[in-house]
Structure 1
């Protein structure tokens, strides 16, 4: 019976104590990926050829400051160059405004002179052809100054309008209607005085006639195209006490009281022993003609 050679057993290496933590062991042995490691090594090799980070930051800041200084210097130089031109243009504009204002004042004086001349000729014609009714016709036409008993009515904007100049309690027709006196308010006041028995009326020294118009241009009130500033002083010739009472009892008097109580519009009315009204500048009739004796 043959004998089998003995079997040699190879020694098995003993397992590592941390064999059960192979994932952690791999992470610890290869903590940096090869690509990252290569990039880090390349940066380390090139680091000796580059400027330090702090120095690079200082140089960048210096360049930015230098650029800002150049921009400011160029702007200042441009301003110094253009300043004389702007000053010259401004002075030219001021001179032009002053000249135009002087021309407008001269034209207004000429208009006033011609208007006075026309009014004088109208009064002369009325006195010449009016017969015994000349004074009455001139008075009713506003062609002559008048005086007599009457009333004085002062209407002014609300106080808050003086302070703010905008906004207000009244709104009508889609636009803001402040505590400011409007042209329609003055129209109602004047019409109410006529209906109460006034024989002649003037607003801020502007005599009203049958052809007078009260309207607005922005916030200004125009009487016969002449702007009138507040407060508005209305003088009316008539029986003073009776005229005051009749106006206050009228619908337009109640309207004025509502403006005063509801919206702060300031008013005062008083009877006067005598008021003086100037003549109207002129009364131009373009279509009306005296009826001939033979016409009906």
Structure 2
């Protein structure tokens, strides 16, 4: 008697062990995406190279390459031809600028020589013509260097330029309450020296005349448009001790004392047996009249 084994139905077949990893299985079995596979198939049909196959297309490509090479060659040739011309124009411009600078320097030297010659003639005329009045005029105009007894007055900013509080002599002049020396301070000191009997004054070696201007440009002080650097050394020719007392007792001398006492401005004054002042650097003759001699003629 034969024993029959029951047949297994397909529906009862056991599932794959890797059924839970279907996504990874699919990736491994189909490693090439369908789109890439289709593109690869087309490439196999038309070939890997995209170069044109027909004679007409090849001739068109060759003509385009020739035109591109021609344009590049012509551009390079034009640049090479124009380079020397540009360099030449640049060099000519540089030479013109340098020549113009040399001419300007030479003209400035000529102007300086002529100005010095005129100043010498003016000083000589002031010294030669006239008596004591002519000498006084030369002295007051700064035409000649002078020496004699006088004062040395040094004025400097305070160590702390922000020092000084409260009311002070500068409030009404629109100045801030600091220890910095201003142009108006020097103006008052100079005017005080003139009023005390100074015959000649200089600031930092620069001779003052009746037409000298003391002005400000920012924080800088200018004397006849030339900047000064503190400390400011004023030399004045006058009658010694009496000159010093007269200045210190004057209103402007007291003003300087207030700047020192209330604002910390550093000042010192000393009597000098001999003070030397140079002539004014530029003397401008604005008015002149002929000198009449005893014979009634003019010269």
Range of TM-score over shorter length: 0.5 to 0.7
SS of aligned partner of 1:137: helix
Alpha-carbon offset, residue 116 of structure 1: 3.6
Cα distance in 2 for partners of 1:108, 1:217 equals 26
Contact 1:115–1:281 (8 Å) recurs in 2: no
Q: CA deviation at 1:117?
A: 3.2
Q: CA RMSD in A?
A: 3.4
Per-residue CA shift, 1:148-185, capped at 9, x if unaligned?
A: 00000000000013xxxxx4536746664531100000
**Are the counterparts in 1 of residues 177 and 263 from structure 2 also a CA contact under 8 Å?**
no
Distance, in Å, in 2 between the alignment partners of 1:105 and 1:176 is 43
- Most deviating of 175-184 and 147-156: 175-184
Paired residues for 1:134-153 under 5 Å: 134-153=134-153
CA drift of 1:284 comes to 1.8
Correspondence for 2:248: 248
Q: Does 1:220 align with 2:215?
A: no
Name the CA shift for 1:104/1:209 in 2 (closer, same or farther; >3 Å).
farther
Q: Normalising by structure 2, what TM-score?
A: 0.55
Q: How does 1:112-261 map to 2 (within 5 A)?
A: 115-131=115-131, 133-161=133-161, 167-169=162-164, 172=171, 176-261=176-261
1:256-277 deviations in whole A, cap 9, x for unaligned? 0000000010000010000000
Runs of 5+ consecutive residues of structure 1 not aligned to the other structure: 1-47, 50-98, 162-166
Match of 1:273 in 2: 273
CA contact (8 A) 2:203 2:232 kept: yes
Q: Which residue of 2 aligns with 1:290?
A: 289
How do residues 28-39 of structure 1 correspond to structure 2 at under 5 angstroms? Answer: none
Distance in 2 between the 1:193 and 1:229 partners? 21
Distance in 1 between residues matched to 2:224 and 2:105, nearest whole Å: 18
Distance in 2 (CA, whole Å) between partners of 1:169 and 1:242 is 32
Q: Distance in 2 between matches of 1:109 and 1:186?
A: 33
Q: Secondary structure at the match of 1:147?
A: strand
Moved more, 216-225 or 174-183: 174-183
Cα shift readout 1:3-44 (whole Å, capped 9, x = no counterpart)? xxxxxxxxxxxxxxxxxxxxxxxxxxxxxxxxxxxxxxxxxx
Aligned with 2:212: secondary structure?
coil
Q: How many residues align?
A: 190
* Equivalent residue, structure 1, for 2:49: none
Q: Distance in 2 between matches of 1:259 and 1:114?
A: 44
| Whole-Å separation in 2 of the counterparts to 1:134 and 1:175 | 41
Tell me, what secondary structure is at the counterpart of 2:160? helix
State the secondary structure of the residue aligned to 1:160. Answer: coil
SS of match in other structure, 1:158: coil
Deviations 1:69-105 (A, max 9, x none): xxxxxxxxxxxxxxxxxxxxxxxxxxxxxx9xxx999
Asked whether the equivalents of residues 201 and 207 of structure 2 are also in contact (C-alpha less than 8 Å), the reply is: yes
Cα gap change, 1:290 to 1:188, in 2 (>3 Å): same
Cα distance change, pair 292–129 in 1 and its aligned pair in 2 (3 A):
closer
> Contact between 2:248 and 2:254, CA under 8 Å: does it hold in 1?
yes
Are the counterparts in 2 of residues 211 and 283 from structure 1 also a CA contact under 8 Å?
A: no
Change (3 A) 1:269 1:133: same
Instruction: Provide the rounded CA distance (Å) in 1 between the counterparts of 2:124 and 2:291.
Output: 21
Contact 1:130 1:137 in 2 (8 A): no
Shift, 1:281, TM fit? 1.6
Q: Which runs of 5 or more structure 2 residues have no equivalent in the other structure?
A: 1-22, 25-97
Helix, strand or coil at the partner of 1:284 = coil
Q: CA deviation at 1:119?
A: 2.3
Distance 2:113 2:218 in 1: 28
